[in-house]
Amino acid sequence: MTRTALFQPLALGPYTLAHRVVMAPLTRMRSTTPGNIPNPLNAQYYRQRATAGGLIICEASQILAQGQGVPASPGIHSPEQVAGWRGVTGAIHAEGGKAFLQLWHVGRISHPSHQPGGELPVAPSAIAAEGMAMTATFSREPFPQPRALLLEEIPALVASYERAARNAQAAGFDGVEIHCANGYLLEQFLQSRSNQRTDAYGGSIENRCRLPLEVVNAVASVWGPERVGIRLSPFGIANDSAEAEPLPLYTHLIGQLDRLGLAYLHLLEPRASGAGQREVDHQDVPSACELFRPLWQGRLITAGNFRGDSAEETIAQGLADAIAFGRLFISNPDLPRRLRLEAPLTPYNRATFYGGGPEGYTDYPRLG
């Protein structure tokens, strides 16, 4: 299959991308600690993967210390972190690329070892996630029962997203993506299994969508909606997520988001849910982009177990405007070029995904 659709230019908000191969946000746990500060090694990693006119969505970054869920993940809430990210954005821009930052709060998918003062993580309701947390020392312990956020704490939480958005501007990013997927805080508010509140943020679909929409509007007030994206995983099962009947919930949410003129909607295909932890290819699952494309008038990015031919076909059929690649971008820093040339792809080493130094991070070879 000649890959022409994948390499057509794409207008995305105020920007024009040279191709539709997007680098997905990928947690790698290589920030400088203490402080969770992006560093020169991170800048080198991103520069290797930047292309002229290409979009990189930089890894999820906690909007405040309380939002952290794994060791050495970067933040966007301190002056030192902003300065560290400036080195990363400068590296991406030096190669002609565009950089968005993913704004993150993990909610209950955390452990007291990451929390200020060793406190409990927060969540919509005091319901523990099933599974194992990664502690500050990379060990594994069961997720604790979180503390339910008080109603009067929610305005400050929204304000933290707004502050993080301003910090991302100061760090030199071209836009931001709001993480509302994979079982983290905003998705915890969306889904009835993790949100059993009886106030204005729980119960009905409209109430459960309230916080994500407030966050989107707060972030858009900083950047303008045309520089803001959002990531959703409507049928995902990562981090003990999953809505029993996702279609009504996500139909409502996407309908509300569609009115706002955002830069893009970023969907995670259900076949790849949980791919960060193990090899998955869930069968007999829906196609998120096929189901929700008719509800979304703007740009749509989709991600999840794509290869060159399947990415080309998805774009050519009009089901998405761009394809985000994750694991293949880890092991193929020149992935767009390889896909264009239909060159062999270097396999990734899952053992080096999280933590460590250059191995499995900046030492993957380019073509030639």
The pLDDT assigned to 286 comes to: 79
Instruction: Please report the DSSP string for 62-94 in residue order.
Output: ESSGGG--STT--BSSSHHHHHHHHHHHHHHHH
> What global pTM score does this model have?
0.97
Q: Which amino acid type is present at position 132?
A: M
Per-residue pLDDT of the chain (368 residues), as tens digits, is 678 999 999 999 999 999 999 999 999 999 999 999 999 999 999 999 999 999 999 999 999 999 999 999 999 999 999 999 999 999 999 999 999 999 999 999 999 999 999 999 999 999 999 999 999 999 999 999 999 999 999 999 999 999 999 999 999 999 999 999 999 999 999 999 999 999 999 999 999 999 999 999 999 999 999 999 999 999 999 999 999 999 999 999 999 999 999 999 999 998 766 667 777 566 777 799 999 999 999 999 999 999 999 999 999 999 999 999 999 999 999 999 999 999 999 999 999 999 999 999 999 999 98
Strands (E) across the chain are located at: 10-12, 15-17, 21-23, 55-62, 98-104, 122-123, 132-134, 140-142, 147-148, 175-180, 228-232, 264-268, 300-303, 322-325
Instruction: Please report the DSSP string for 234-279 in residue order.
Output: TT--GGG---SSHHHHHHHHHHHHHTTT-SEEEEE-GGGTTTTTS-
- The answer to whether 282 touches 288, Cβ cutoff 8 Å, is no
Q: Which amino acid type is present at position 34?
A: P
Contacts of 239 (CB under 8 A, 6+ apart): 109, 129, 131, 182, 183, 184
The pLDDT assigned to 280 comes to: 58
CA distance 51 to 333: 10
The pLDDT assigned to 259 comes to: 98
Burial class (CB in 10 A: 0-12, 13-18, 19+), 135: middle
Element (DSSP H or E) covering residue 214: helix 210-223
- The answer to whether 273 touches 282, Cβ cutoff 8 Å, is yes
Superfamily the domain 5-352 falls into? Aldolase class I (3.20.20.70)
CA distance 140 to 216: 33
DSSP state of 302: E
Percent helix, strand, coil in the chain, to 5, is 35, 15, 45
Extents of the domains making up the chain: 5-352
Question: Catalytic residue positions?
Answer: 184
Kindly report whether the peptide bond that precedes residue 34 is cis, defined as omega within 30 degrees of 0: yes
CA distance 6 to 26: 21
The pLDDT assigned to 86 comes to: 98
- The answer to whether 189 touches 208, Cβ cutoff 8 Å, is yes
Tokens, residue 106 = 């993990």
- The answer to whether 30 touches 76, Cβ cutoff 8 Å, is no
User: In angstroms, how far apart are the furthest CA atoms of the chain?
Assistant: 60
CA distance 128 to 145: 4
| Residue written as token pair 């791919």 | 275
